[in-house]
Amino acid sequence: MIHPADDSAAVARRAVDELLKHREVVAKLDQVKRAQAEADMDHHSNAELKWARRYESMLHTRLRWTVKQMEYEPHNGKSDPFYAPIWEVEPAPPEKPEAKSADEKAWRLTTRTRSARRFA
């Protein structure tokens, strides 16, 4: 309540005195609100926001795990022999058949026709 005064300085002093009386109470309430905000216990937070924060936390956890997996080095300095990334495996060159002489080719041809006649 504002009392009539001759000058505005007296009104301002009374207002400041009233605010100083409430300063401690407001400081305690401010500490409580800050603690609730840090603990995500604010009554204004909704379920969707909480879900988004949990999802973001899960993604950060997976990212940290993945980075650790890429930075991992075995204790003995050798890589796992069973681990072979696709990009490091080179296919074996195709085997070329040996050249055969004309006599071998003729012999195989005659043995094939003989066996075919037996079972026919």
Structural domain containing residue 59: 46-74
Q: Return the DSSP state at 97.
A: P
- Look-up of token digits 């937070």: 45
Tens-digit pLDDT profile for residues 35-93? 877 776 766 667 888 888 899 999 999 999 999 888 877 666 666 666 656 666 677 77
Residue 90 lies in a domain: no
The string over 43-80, giving b where at least 16 C-beta atoms fall within 10 Å of a residue's C-beta and e elsewhere, is: eeeeeeeeeeeeeeeeeeeeeeeeeeeeeeeeeeeeee
Amino acid at 115: S
pLDDT value at residue 59 = 96
pLDDT mean over 14-27: 84
* Percentage above 70 pLDDT, the chain: 62
Q: Which residues contact 11 (CB under 8 A, 6 or more apart)?
A: 2, 3, 5
Tell whether 6 and 24 lie within a shared domain: yes
Residues 39 and 60 in one domain: no
Count of domains in the chain?
2
**Mean predicted lDDT score pLDDT of the chain:** 76
**pLDDT at residue 58, rounded to an integer:** 96
Tokens of 65: 């795990």
Structural tokens at position 61: 């956890």
* Widest CA span in the chain: 137
Same domain, 1 and 36: yes
Q: Does 5 lie in the same domain as 34?
A: yes
**In the prediction, which pLDDT does 39 show?**
75
Residues 1, 21 share a domain: yes
Q: Is 84 part of any domain? A: no
